[in-house]
Amino acid sequence: MTRRFLHRLVQILPTALGALVLVFVLLRIVPGDPAAAMLGVSATPESVQALRTQLGLDRPLWRQFLDYVGGLIRLDLGTSLAFRVPVAQLLAQALGPTLLLALGGTVVSVLIGVPTGVVAALNRGKPIDQLVSVLALVGISLPVFVWGVVLLVLFTLHWRVLPASGLGEGVGGTLKALVLPSLATGMFLAGLVSRITRSSVLGVLGQDYVRTAWAKGLEPMHVFRRHVLRNALIPVVTVVGLNMGTLLGGVVVVEGIFARPGLGRLLLDAIYARDYPLIQGIVLVSVLMTILLNQLVDLLYTLLDPRVAA
Amino acid sequence: MRIRWVVGAVLLSLVLAGASLGGPAEPDTLVIVFPSHQGTLDGHFAVTTQDMLVVRNVYNALMKYKPDTTELTGDLAERWEVSPDGLVYTFRLRRNVTWQKGYGRLTAQDVKASFDRLRDPETRSPFAGLLSMVREIQVLDPYTIRFVLSEPYAPFLHLLTNYRVGPVVNARAARERGAAFAWDPVGTGPYEVERAIPRTEVVLRAFDQHFGGRPRIRRIITRTVPDLNAMVVGLENGQYHMLYSIQALDESVIKRLRERGFSVTYYSRNLPRVLLMNVTKKPLDDVRVRRAIAHAINRQQVIALSMAGYGRPWYSPVPEGYFAATTQVPRYEYNPEKARQLLVEAGYRDGLDLPMQVFDVMKVTSDVIAEQLRRVGIRVQQEVLDQPTFIQRVLRRDGSISFAVHCCVRQPDPDFYLSDIFSRSKGGAIYISGLDLEAELAAARRETNVEKRRQMYVALQRKIMENVWMIPLVMEFDRNVHVPQLRGMPRRVEALWGLDLSRLSFE
Amino acid sequence: MGRRGFAGGWETSAVRRLRRAIGGSWILWIASGFVILLGAVAFLAPYLRLTDPFAQSLERLAPPSPEHPFGTDRLGRDVFSRTVWATRYALAVGIGTVGVGGTVGTLWGMAAGFSGPFVQEALSRLVDVFLSFPPLILAMVVVTLIGNGVFPVVVALSFGVAPRFARVARAVVLAVRVQGYVEAARALGASSPRILVRHILPNTLDALIVLATLTVPTAILTEALLSFLGIGIVEPTPTWGNIASMGQMVLREAPWVVFAPSLVLLLTVLSFNLLGDAVRDALDPTVSRGVWMRRVERADLEPEPARIASRRIPAG
């Protein structure tokens, strides 16, 4: 397991580094100067120059890059230009809420998608099957911001049950603040999961080994749990893994609507302020997150399907 | 022996309990939210409104503006004198000023140290150059400080207000804390920073030894909420008490909030919205084209559509409320027919294509103006840029920013504003015009006779408007929505950035 | 087996299957009709006598009326007219992205499939890296670099779309190369390259067409998110996303500003999804009848053919 992880890391590392160089260079070519960004409308040519010097932006490009890579080796991601604190600190602050929300959205999608898909599969052809299918289709066709805005107004104003923004205090508060954003984020994936669950349950139900188990006289529920569900869930895991990217995109929009200070917001602000070290830090974190997520998906595969060689 | 301790403790606790029972129960926390982030709380680096909201209350400066006016008065300075030749400014400081966080009493030496830190090349404050006219700072005695200028500078006292170069920071604390000073500052103001989490919130606690007295509200939390909806919802369900400087809020939402019992406070911040143009290049080098544009603008519609009604039409280069502001200038009223006529005269029978550069904050106003210009045949091509790109291009001075809606608050003296727009050497992020009126501006800057100086600016304003070198549009009001129990907000004008939080209280 | 036989054979059977799939369901007829209607509207927008979508007025946030079927927005502009005009940009982005991203991705994937191990590894790692970026975030960064407008958005979205096409193209090429080539060579005796192209191409095309029809709604949705955030296609140019964005603050006073464009967006994406499903069902013979099902693409899994064999996928 660890060998596979390291193997993957070694594979990804050169391309990650390449991507980093690309982003590094492009950021400095692109119009918009961090010093000008920070000074805003009070900027003057002299003050911008002074700030550029203070931030070390007037040194040659290769020098800046070497310093940055040197810092990386020491696990120092540099200091944010716009907020004047270590990049690592901002990333740590933002990573938690984003991961929580991504997790929340995934949980929501599975909690809604799997049962509805199973129900639809078991009642194939009947009205409830049609209903679930329609809802699932609507789920994947409606943009995430509509969910977010509607949920916001309904549950925080009409029925004042949940907080409108922020991260919440303590475990209870955090969970309460997660409910609506997770729902908004997870709806799209819930639709996908529902559809996949339905089709894969149907598929497994038709397999020989299931019929054999029934013929042997095993209890239907037992058969269901042990054989059908386990195998049916494999494509679900696949689909969830594949759509992590889209989920994270939804997280960016939802974080804005519910004012959660996560990576999405951080990236928007970093881009706006041309905060190079911060943008680079976020790029690095995204790549690492993907590796981790892929490893997680692989892990789930081995748990669900022992036939897959470890 | 022990009995005495016990009795003492009991008595003490009774006294304390009595003290808290006796006075009115002050609700102790005020939560203020705004949509953008703060960048720093270091007075010598702070630029944004959100930064200033805190900086204004953490530090004091030598001078300040009397509440609700644009009249200068002393802050840390009790008395001051200006020499007749305008070169020497002597300030007598208050004697009862204490630094926050245990840094002792304020002396003239401390004030000098603050200015030295600002001008120290090592600090690299972007504002160091603004004090280039100061030749020397002398400490005459522990409570007297003197500035000697190399040339007369009429607006000097305005520079010493709590903005950019004015805030008096504790230089020793800055040295000790290094980079951390940006979020853990030390000043003499009515509030000190208890805790600051960048991008999220700043917690201020009342500084009881402040020379101005104990602030009424014990704790103030400023928070960034980037989404307008979330802000409004949070206000409605009690999470927040004030939405600060909410320019982007729609009129219908403000109306609804008012109906639900919230208060809308609006006041002038001497904040103009203007159209700036590069008058040295085609097609804007033709005064008829510029006059046409001026006649095409319907200011009432701009106010109604892009400012939720919170504005007043304005026709003069110097913003209303400033020294030497005047309405005795040529005016170009809304007259689309005349606009079209002028364009034909200028040779643009079939209309004219005009690029316009827009940065996000000015988007809605630019959209409204672009549409108004389209009606008279001026086809505006908008180039939407974000602020950093826009500002960088302005500073490059390559003419790529040639026509834009702009703003900008400055201290209420015309020199700062007009120099930024029309002086090649002193112009900054709003120097788009391509002109150089430095000669006239320098003369006015140096004039020590107040009345003479006023006349110079009046004449200059007339000249600017005769040639339509810029098109003033409106004076915009700053708007805040807050719970009705909050008192102490400005009513007419707030001459400095931010708010004086020590004047606020809960009813 | 001449050229005519193969080419004709594939086409007829696919078209027949497509017709069977669509013909069986009235919902699909509606969906196809809607898509065609959209296309027509997008094309003819300048000729329909609509209110000027840019004309501002002081009649802000007016409720729907005969004069303004979808009401007016915060600047007093007609929401119906803006929604109709926005169709052009939505379709342009949807189809443009598939065109650009699809072409680039397919070439990329095929190049990977046909090359030697080293180049293939490099190109595949590149695919992984690009896929590791959430498409929306990637698009945000690209648009910041290039600027705002329809073309930059198409390019930005293509960055996210191309890797997916590359993956599919590569997997199919590999699968056919490993398996189909051998089989075909055996079955047909001395194999000529042209006949192999006849085998490889139809399979690749099928998978790619399915991916393309399902990518259009994704691209439209992603663009809506981008313009909702105020990036890409910006005001005063109307898009469904930016109309809704301007309306979210006044959701309670004037819900039509958010809901009208959102409804049209929903119907558009829904129709494309339905059509995409039908196309997929029609072109993939292993899928049983029925419109509502969607099968996991073989190629969506791990690219190595060996692992494909080890994964049991329900035939659905």
A34 or B287, higher pLDDT: B287
Q: Are A165 and B230 inside 8 Å of each other by CB?
A: yes
Give me the half-sphere count of Cα atoms (radius 13 Å) on the Cβ side of residue C222.
32
Residue C312 carries which DSSP code?
-
**Band (C127; pLDDT cuts 50, 70, 90):** confident
pLDDT at position A96, please? Answer: 86
Which residue shows structure tokens 């020294």?
B323
Helix (H) or strand (E) holding B114: helix B108-119
Statement: residue C181 has pLDDT above 70: no
B427: nearest CA partner in chain A: A44
Give the one of B37, B164, B234 whose C-beta lies nearest to A165's C-beta. Answer: B234
Which stretches in chain B have pLDDT values below 70? Answer: 1-27
Q: pLDDT of B365-415, one tens digit each?
A: 999 999 999 999 999 988 877 777 788 888 888 888 899 998 877 889 999
Q: Are C292 and A195 inside 8 Å of each other by CB?
A: yes
Closest Cα of chain A to C177: distance in Å? Answer: 24
Which residue shows structure tokens 């600017």?
B464
Which residues of A are less than 8 Å from B276 in CB distance? none
Asked if B183 is an interface residue toward chain A (Cβ–Cβ < 8 A), one would say yes
Q: Pseudo-torsion of CA A150, A155, A158, A164, nearest 10°?
A: -90
Structure tokens at A301: 């595969």
pLDDT at position A159, please? Answer: 73
Please give the ipTM for the structure prediction.
0.76
pLDDT at position C9, please? Answer: 42
Residue B277 neighbours by CB under 8 Å, 6+ apart:
B284, B290, B293, B402, B403, B432, B433, B469, B470, B471
Statement: residue A31 has pLDDT above 80: no
Asked if B164 is an interface residue toward chain A (Cβ–Cβ < 8 A), one would say yes
B81 or C299, higher pLDDT: B81
SS3 for A85? Answer: coil
What region does B442 belong to: left with phi over 0, alpha with psi -120 to 50, or beta? alpha
Structure tokens at B318: 């110097």
Structure tokens at A158: 């009409």
Q: Are A248 and C137 inside 8 Å of each other by CB?
A: yes
Which residue shows structure tokens 């280039």?
B132
C50 or B314, higher pLDDT: B314
Statement: residue C289 has pLDDT above 50: no
Give the residue among B119, B76, B102, B93 at the shortest CA–CA distance from B172: B102
d(CA B206, CA B192): 6
Name the least confident of A134-138, A190-194, B178-182, B395-399. B395-399
Q: Are A31 and B408 inside 8 Å of each other by CB?
A: no
pLDDT at position A208, please? Answer: 66
Give the one of B200, B237, B388 whose C-beta lies nearest to A274's C-beta. Answer: B388
pLDDT at position A213, please? Answer: 66
Statement: residue A84 has pLDDT above 70: yes
Closest Cα of chain A to C11: distance in Å? Answer: 28
The whole-model pTM stands at 0.79
pLDDT at position C197, please? Answer: 59
Asked if C255 is an interface residue toward chain B (Cβ–Cβ < 8 A), one would say no
What region does B156 belong to: left with phi over 0, alpha with psi -120 to 50, or beta? alpha
CB atoms within 10 A of CB A219: 11
CB atoms within 10 A of CB C307: 13
Which residues of B are less than 8 Å from A50 in CB distance? 124-126, 128-129
Name the least confident of A40-49, A140-149, B300-309, C173-182. C173-182
pLDDT at position C189, please? Answer: 61
Average pLDDT of the segment spanning A238-246: 79
d(CA B433, CA B421): 7
pLDDT at position A224, please? Answer: 63
β pairing state of B263-277 and B29-34: unpaired
d(CA B51, CA B178): 19
Name the least confident of A138-147, B8-17, B198-207, C31-40. B8-17
Average pLDDT of the segment spanning A179-207: 86
Closest Cα of chain A to C80: distance in Å? Answer: 18
Statement: residue A290 has pLDDT above 80: no
Q: pLDDT of C226-274, one tens digit each?
A: 888 888 888 888 999 999 988 888 888 888 999 999 999 999 999 998 8
Give the residue among B31, B44, B38, B28 at the shortest CA–CA distance from B203: B31
A199 or B215, higher pLDDT: B215
Statement: residue A303 has pLDDT above 80: no
Average pLDDT of the segment spanning A296-307: 68
Q: Are C97 and C219 in contact (CB under 8 A)?
A: yes
pLDDT at position B409, please? Answer: 79
Give the one of C61, C75, C251 whose C-beta lies nearest to B367's C-beta. Answer: C75
What region does B242 belong to: left with phi over 0, alpha with psi -120 to 50, or beta? beta
Q: Are B256 and C230 inside 8 Å of each other by CB?
A: no
Which residues of A are less than 8 Å from B234 in CB distance? 164-166, 259
Surface of B (294-313) touching C: CB under 8 A:
301, 304-305
Q: pLDDT of C76-98, one tens digit each?
A: 899 999 999 999 999 999 999 99
Q: Are C222 and A202 inside 8 Å of each other by CB?
A: no
Long-range CB contacts (within 8 A, 24+) of C263-267? C264/C83, C264/C86, C264/C87, C264/C240, C265/A143, C265/C90, C265/C220, C265/C221, C265/C224, C265/C240, C265/C241, C266/A138, C266/A141, C266/A142, C266/A143, C266/A146, C267/C34
Write the single-letter amino acid at A104: G
Statement: residue C310 has pLDDT above 70: no
A218 or C226, higher pLDDT: C226
Q: Are C54 and B371 inside 8 Å of each other by CB?
A: yes
Which residues of A are less than 8 Å from C312 in CB distance? 231, 234, 305, 307
Residue C78 carries which DSSP code?
B
C93 or A218, higher pLDDT: C93
H helix count then E strand count, chain A: 14, 0
Alpha helices in chain C (DSSP H): 3-23, 26-44, 79-114, 117-132, 135-146, 150-175, 181-188, 193-228, 240-247, 256-283, 305-310
Asked if B375 is an interface residue toward chain C (Cβ–Cβ < 8 A), one would say no
Statement: residue C315 has pLDDT above 50: no
Is A199 exposed, middle or buried, given 0-12, 13-18 or 19+ CB atoms closer than 10 A? buried
Name the percent of chain A lying above pLDDT 70.
Answer: 78
pLDDT at position C248, please? Answer: 82
A198: nearest CA partner in chain C: C293
**Band (C128; pLDDT cuts 50, 70, 90):** confident
pLDDT at position B505, please? Answer: 92
Mutate which: B391, B405, B406, B420, vs A, most A CBs within 10 A? B391
Closest Cα of chain C to B301: distance in Å? Answer: 7
pLDDT at position C10, please? Answer: 43
Average pLDDT of the segment spanning C90-113: 90
d(CA B243, CA A3): 54
Average pLDDT of the segment spanning A191-216: 77
pLDDT at position A221, please? Answer: 65
CB atoms within 10 A of CB C139: 29
